[in-house]
Amino acid sequence: MLVAPSILSADFSKLGEEIKSVEKAGADLIHIDVMDGNFVPNITIGACVVKSIRKITHLPFDVHLMIEKPEKHFLSFVEAGADYITVHVEATKTLYRLVDEIKKHCKVGVALNPATPLCSVENILDKIDLLLIMTVEPGYGGQRFIDSMIGKVKKAKEMIKGKDILLAVDGGVNDENAVELKKAGVDLLVAGSYIFKSDDYENAIKKLKI
């Protein structure tokens, strides 16, 4: 099981130290939540922050774009050092082209909101590196995991069988649902508050990996 701490729940007044701490604690990737105040209510991190934290860790950056018209902005995040760019199916009218464009520069992921069906990505499965199933409505850290998403994750696993695609979940992940998620076939857990609100990052990450 891979674990990507979502820095949305980190202490932003010492972001560099927080990232170094989770790297030391066994994180596999750093998950960066980019919000624009349109696709979701909040505004969070821009490309300049990504560029600045790129210098302080060797971990791959998984940039989760929760923004409208991601085709207009993704390149600035590539230039800032993203290793994965994940875009929402709901945020673009031209997903097929967008995925191709992103793939010219880095790995590409697609994310599905809880109510968005899996069939919305079935025609692009040969192009993507990561499939992100949202297990909360995107927009905030610290929300409750939507239990019925376990069934969706199982179906997603079946759908991507035999393909080189990481199956990821994001939202409300903790050491309890991690067990179910592993059984359902998840490869990558994104977790924000569970890790950053704990007082022992290493133990928290270890528990998610078990």
Catalytic residues: 33, 170
Cβ at position 125, least distance to ligand DX5 in Å: 22
Q: What's the number of CA atoms in the CB half-sphere (13 Å) around residue 187?
A: 14
Q: How many other C-beta atoms can be found within 10 angstroms of the C-beta atom of residue 130?
A: 20
6 is an interface residue for ligand DX5 by CB under 6 A? yes
207 is an interface residue for Zn ion by CB under 5 A? no
Q: Kindly state the tokens that stand for 43.
A: 């505004």
Long-range contacts of residues 154-163, Cβ cutoff 8 Å, at least 24 apart: 154/184, 154/185, 155/118, 156/118, 156/131, 156/185, 157/184, 157/185, 157/186, 159/118, 159/122, 159/125, 160/125, 160/131, 163/125, 163/126
114 is an interface residue for ligand DX5 by CB under 6 A? no
Q: How far is the C-alpha of 130 from the C-alpha of 108, rounded, in Å?
A: 6
Q: Amino acid identity of 25?
A: A
143 is an interface residue for ligand DX5 by CB under 6 A? yes
Contact range with ligand DX5 by CB under 6 A, out of 68-76, 87-95, 155-163, 189-197: 189-197
Q: Choose the one of ligand DX5, Zn ion, none that binds residue 76, judging by a C-beta under 5 to 8 angstroms depending on kind.
A: none
Q: Give the residue from 130, 124, 77, 126 showing the smallest Cα distance to 105.
A: 77
Q: How far is the C-alpha of 31 from the C-alpha of 62, rounded, in Å?
A: 5
Among 35, 170, 172, 208, binds Zn ion (CB under 5 A): 170
Among 33, 36, 62, 129, binds Zn ion (CB under 5 A): 33
Q: Kindly state the tokens that stand for 210.
A: 């078990």
CB nearer ligand DX5, residue 102 or residue 178: 178
152 is an interface residue for Zn ion by CB under 5 A? no
181 is an interface residue for ligand DX5 by CB under 6 A? no
CB nearer ligand DX5, residue 33 or residue 126: 33
Q: Choose the one of Zn ion, ligand DX5, none that binds residue 193, judging by a C-beta under 5 to 8 angstroms depending on kind.
A: ligand DX5
Contact range with ligand DX5 by CB under 6 A, out of 55-63, 93-101, 113-121, 140-148: 140-148
Query: Which residues here bind ligand DX5, judged by CB under 6 A?
Result: 6, 8-9, 31, 33, 64, 136, 138-143, 170-173, 190-194
